[in-house]
Amino acid sequence: MPHTAVRDRRAALEWGAYALAGSMLSTTGHAQTIPAPHTLNNPGTVMQASDRLPLGSSDITVSPLGVGCMGMSEFYGPTDAAEVQRTLDAALERGVNFFDTADMYGRGANEELLAPLLTGRRDRIVLASKFGIVRDANGVHFDNRPDYVKRACEASLRRLKTDYIDVFYAHRIDRKHPVEDMVGTMADLVREGKVRAIGLSEAAPATIRQAHRIHPLAAVQTEYSLFSRGPESEILPTCRALGIAFVPYAPLCRGLLSSQARDATHLGPGDFRQALPRFQPTNFVHNQALVERLAEYGQRQGCSSAQIALAWLRAKGNDIVPIPGMRSVRHLDENLGALSMALSGDDVAAIEALLPIQAVAGERYSDAELMTVGL
């Protein structure tokens, strides 16, 4: 039985119904309305300090679910600032201590948004940020050179109004410059007390091993979800062999695994999913039919497809800490409810039978962006 984050409750899931759910897949080729569950499992779940998980071999422990903050500033269309604040405060109240940002989200605005959260309660929060994706007058490029790493760290600290970052990730690997120099500089930041632990994002297994030899990595962050199973072949086993925590980003496939997804033509201005292959109309219809399987299945258990998607990730191991993005207390509570669902091996197999690897239509990024990941 996998770790149950909230020990006193176990959702009464009857996963045996999955075979029936499989027959629910739309064969019409038209987008279906995904049913919402009538009631959700344990919305408002509160986590305890004893539920925390170690982040690799570092001395950092985190809640079994973090909050991805990117969408609070950019990429997913207009944001309700007051509701975002309520969501951040509610997350802390409910025992979430792991918050994920990056210097490039909102061009620094996302880190500034999190500064008030840290004030007066810095020791209650594990703040992860990232450097290396530079947006300037020349467009978007990567920079992992030592001098840049140091400057990026100082700038993040200023914006966050704090004197240390808990987990400092290289957001992308810049192959133009030696990885050793970048990691060596990150290690210097640890020695200087500006960073507690380091990590890589979207790195290849060889890069992970190379970096880990120079300084222990606490975490590796890569896209991983029921729709993005790539890390299972090499990245996850590499992390496990080295004792590095794995942080799945976009665990809901940018919302596609939830009941609220819309196709590219219905997304608002500034929503970067308009450019993602999986949200293009034809792919979207196919993908939504897959999610419909999950939703029908979940509906019988009183849980949403998003909750199943998160519970599935959690069931993969205590070294896996998903960071779903959310901008409302409603989504926060729904997602935390997933922590009460202790899936068995049979449950996991059933869910994977509903959404087989490779069933999703469309790559997770555009061709140009795919060139920049897994380096």
Ligand X SMILES: NC(=O)c1ccc[n+]([C@@H]2O[C@H](COP(=O)([O-])OP(=O)(O)OC[C@H]3O[C@@H](n4cnc5c(N)ncnc54)[C@H](OP(=O)(O)O)[C@@H]3O)[C@@H](O)[C@H]2O)c1
Q: What are the residues binding ligand X (CB under 6 A)? A: 68-71, 76, 100, 171, 201-202, 221, 249-255, 258, 260, 306, 323-328, 331, 334-335
Beta-carbon contacts of 187 under 8 Å, excluding residues fewer than 6 positions away, are 198, 214, 215
Active site residue 105: yes
Residues 121 and 309: their CA atoms lie apart, in Å, by: 31
The CB-of-306 to ligand X minimum distance in angstroms stands at 4
CB 47 within 8 A of CB 304: no
Q: Closest Cα partner for 216 from 63, 58, 36, 358? A: 58
Please identify which of the residues 76, 105, 148, 365 carries the catalytic annotation.
105
When the beta carbons of 78 and 120 are compared against ligand X, the nearer one is 78
Residues 299 and 363: their CA atoms lie apart, in Å, by: 28
The CB-of-158 to ligand X minimum distance in angstroms stands at 20
| One-character DSSP codes across 183-209 | HHHHHHHHHTTSEEEEEEES--HHHHH
The CB-of-109 to ligand X minimum distance in angstroms stands at 13
Q: Which residue has the tokens 């929503």?
A: 271
Return the structure tokens found at 339.
């922590």
Q: Which residue has the tokens 């930041």?
A: 189
Residues 142 and 222: their CA atoms lie apart, in Å, by: 17
The CB-of-173 to ligand X minimum distance in angstroms stands at 11
The CB-of-131 to ligand X minimum distance in angstroms stands at 11
When the beta carbons of 64 and 324 are compared against ligand X, the nearer one is 324
Phi, psi of 169 (to 5 degrees): -100, 145
Catalytic site residues?
Answer: 105
